[in-house]
Amino acid sequence: MMKKVVLLALSGMMTLMGGLPASAQTAYNFHMSSSFYAGSAKLPAGTYTLRQSSEDANMFSLQNSSGSHTVLLDTRQSSKASKGKPEVVFNRYSGTDYLEGVETNDGNSIDVMPGAAEKLAAKKGSPEPHRVPTA
């Protein structure tokens, strides 16, 4: 009788745990030496963490190290790849940087959906891509 109770309890726990998300969050840390746009938000220079949402794989939050600036970003999967460590990619238009995405070597690269400011800048010129290493 005791074996049946223990077996039933273990089965119940396994069933409940099976409903929990199995994927770990993806996070990238980087330092930007100048202000930049991420989506529609203009952010100051500093150290940032870009973290994948636990509820939506295409949603990332970007927050500076002090927690004073946070923005939610809509992303899509990208086929671009880095040659080594992940790199944060920016597009520069007329001296202003716009967060473009993250390139990895493991198939988890993302593109950040451009905001209104970047779309306007893209109409006036061509981007100069540059990369920032992740920490």
pTM of the model: 0.80
Give the residue extent of every domain in the chain: 26-133
pLDDT at 10 over 50: no
Tokens at 128, concatenated: 């100069």
pLDDT mean across residues, the chain: 86
pLDDT in tens, 49-99: 999 999 999 999 999 999 999 999 999 999 888 888 999 999 999 999 999
pLDDT at 20 over 80: no
The one-character DSSP state at 123 is H
pLDDT at 5 over 50: no
Q: Cα separations (Å) of 19 from 12, 22, 29, 55?
A: 11, 9, 30, 13
Q: Cα separations (Å) of 18 from 10, 15, 26, 51, 108?
A: 12, 5, 21, 24, 24
* Chain mean position to CA 125: 26
